[in-house]
Structure 1
Amino acid sequence: HLGRNFLHLTVLQPGGLQHLNEKYLQMEHIKNLVVDEDNEGCTPLHYACRQGVALSVNNLLSLNVSIYSKSRDKKSPLHFAASYGRINTCQRLIRDMKDTRLLNEGDKKGMTPLHLAAQNGHEKVVQFLLKRGALFLCDYKGWTALHHAAFGGYTRTMQIILDTNVKCTDRVDEEG
């Protein structure tokens, strides 16, 4: 079962935690499970953010789960939400941020939430992250979010990035 506890598995189901009575989440031994990491280093919050079920995300956040926890490949819950185009989840996570550090942190490939959203053509998430202070950083290949959007053929995502910062066209990848 990949080192996952029942909360990991529950949040991965359609509807997530909505089928679990809230009183169970208040039990001490279950509260301890919310910080458990599976074999990938993911907490139940990582998967709740991937699925984008608001109730699951809110219930886990109400238990003081850290939005700063990282998986083995250095992805935060925000990386998961951005990668899967979960705009409401991104908004909810950013509401709890004290600074923009998490917004601009790269994973093990140097990919920020903005890179991941652009790579998958999630226009609303790209626009939101840019408005909230996401920077035009390069990943470890030398690619910006614009490179990733272009490679995926996401022209509307490219337009959003270009409308925000035309200077980002100055960057070249590691091959020049």
Structure 2
Amino acid sequence: VQMYPTATLKGENSVARFSTITIASPTSYIDTGSRAILEGKGSSAELITRAITKGGTIISRGQIIGKTAGTRGHLECKGLILKDGIIYAIPEIDGRVVGTELSHEAAVGKLAQEEIEYLMARGLSEDEATATIIRGFLDVKIAGLPEALQKQIDATIDVAEKAGF
């Protein structure tokens, strides 16, 4: 799977938000990302990604280009390696003028054993504790998203959880 949608924000105070949730099963190769080009005065963008590998390869790209003063952008990519697999997080911020504010954060890791043990001490099984942590990790609320679409996203996460992520 490969995708890289781009939004060029030319209108004053225009806004773009990209939210991506990727789960790679063994032997999967997924190359996804998004780009926002901030050209309009006061434009802003937020690129949020959650990636989980269960043995596949994920390349998670993100780029924000600030071309005009008074623009803002934030890029966030968080990844979990549940079984041996690969996650490449490639955040890019490209500021081209004084007065653009761009930030990014990227993190790839594993489930924290102490978090699992904490939940287990409160009565959850190890599988239930793991699923609870993963569900929280994948919880990316999207402002303005229609309720019907949010229900579809939640249902997809439920299916992935029942399949053992």
Q: Which has the higher contact order (CA 8 A, sep 6+)?
A: 2
Q: Classify the TM-score, shorter chain.
A: under 0.3
Q: Higher helix share goes to which structure?
A: 1
